[in-house]
A and B are shown apart, each in its own frame.
Chain A
């Protein structure tokens, strides 16, 4: 029986270069190809050992896919590969302007809640935050390419703040829907 080894490093597993930019079409294609080969459905008539391996292999594939699909997690993973481990709870941002901006975004969300059409108003704030997030992505791609790891780290920490804002918007929208 032929034996296959699966790399556990996300980019290697998906046959992608170790860089921030990822072609979503290629990513999805690779994901499907890997799943088609290793999904437990392909192993229902095999031994228990092989079934177990299939579960482990697809767990890894799913985790890598989810991580690579999400730009913040992808950036974070790249930093980890470069030896920089982030702690979302403990690492802090000193950038005062940025923190004041965050406060203003929170206020924008609160104002949106007072709007006559709060769901739409929240959507709009979400879109604005998304636009800022997109510029941070391209900034990350640049500093990563220049190997400016400290700045890259700061960007990833900032991205977490924007993600939390989006989570808050979602939570509020769900509450309004219910």
Chain B
């Protein structure tokens, strides 16, 4: 990290004009009026429609494919199979185990096998039915324990470790001694089921291969740059002949952060047919593309002193990865590496094993790899508090990591507003007056968490910046910002506009943002790991500050005054010592252009060197961490077993809230998503190897009448390295929702829910088991 990557937390011109204001979004009205264009809203003359043939078997060898009858159908322009796209890819350089279409094997029901381009969707669908595929069926692995136990038949044949995808074992401090000497040890088994992103927009691409030999792909991706690289690799086209554009995106949550089959297929079909090709996944296909939250079976042991001070944590985790690696290597590390805050503990060991199964591949979903362990750990803490007779808040306060600390696994934590988060939710929920005093069936629970604001490790190792920005200043007073960042609805482009306007003293309407177009914009690595505001924001400040001096000196010279008297504010330039003297921004730009040159600047951000000095020590290392605390209030109907989440209080330390309306939206959306995972959502493969219900009817997203009252409480700990002190808000606020809910159910009816999802049937069984014991609460703790 160079000096240019730190810009301080202070307003550039004395006071903030836009930051903290909660302005409307840069694309809000376009979205509200239907004018915003998403991938499937685009069309081109002569456009063909493409469809994918998918495997009906969970595990099989491909013996032969006959697509002759499909090609013979009038209106069909091309059929491609795995032989046409044999080059492997994968988001991580170390685990390239996917092909756009199956080459020799299929590994889950829904694995792509062939693709067709035809004049319309109906013809393409008809063609799919005429493709004959000869399969040799193989034993399907549906249970991760079986994959762990045996590697035969292998799901991926060239792996050394059978059906193990990744195993990580790390230990810090003297774990065994800590357990031996502990006053209290809490042990428990926890299950996290599979869930998926279910963004309302299905994946869609439009590909065009021009007579100039340039491939343009409009894709509903959240990682334009990586798609660009993957297309080049798989298609064998040099990257300068490929342009990837992300149009307006209808939600992602991590579900659009891999390169996907349709991107390669539509591109090749466009090349083969010399016509534009669109491919839009059906909702069912989106469930097969998946990359959702990994199911995890977790065993935790937590050791503490008599005062509740944590002594050691020991975890063993089995991760069901599904059919491909995707981000799995990172997931496996994250399952252990991201647990080491917001509490201090001196000894820690985890062993995480990800295995392949014949199911849709898992990947990163909001809170990648760390939502599952956080659930287990925060319930462990609640049980520890119960055992020691401590209030759950008090237990956590006794273990605070604090600011400017180093975690047990060597991560540097700078700003830390967790203690304040605890205070805010404790106060707002009336915890002290209400907890334990509500009628039976009603309860309060709490939990905390920590999350990264991006990581210092790019997905492919390279020394270049993680984020780049380019500014172009126009004589009209307009600034056009070229940003590689992917605005996926979270508002990245709105933040970019806000920061540029702040830095150059402009009105918001004087800033236009062009984003996520690899021909026009410098590289940003994409919308994942909550890196956007932090990294793109810093790159913006870097670029703006390079121009500010130029602009100020041009005006100062023209006025013949000391540059310190010149201030850019709200679209004008004023003389601080002569209120009568001012210029519109446009005039200032013209003065500077005449005096110096055409006006533009670039800026970038790269992370400092971070992380522990051991293999994997940089995974999970972030330039800044966000913190969250939740209190959740539930009612439990003991006769039906149904849990109703009545309200949730969410306090989140996002550093400086650049736009509090957007921050609150992220907090509420995160909490909603976590609570939904806990109560109703289930991405499950049935005993036949099929997704049990790949539709938005059977995969149930809560509706407006199912969603609790959500109260967002923003906590601002100004981060020394964030843009004006900002950190992330998009993923962290999800984490405590699930354990807080479980803990609230304990408060309400005295049962410990440790196996997600918390369906009413499971609740009833737990209630019955508890009733069978004389002292249900104690039994639940010792019985695990």
Task: Decide whether A and B assemble into one complex.
Answer: no
Which residues of B are in contact with A by a Cβ distance under 8 Å?
Answer: none
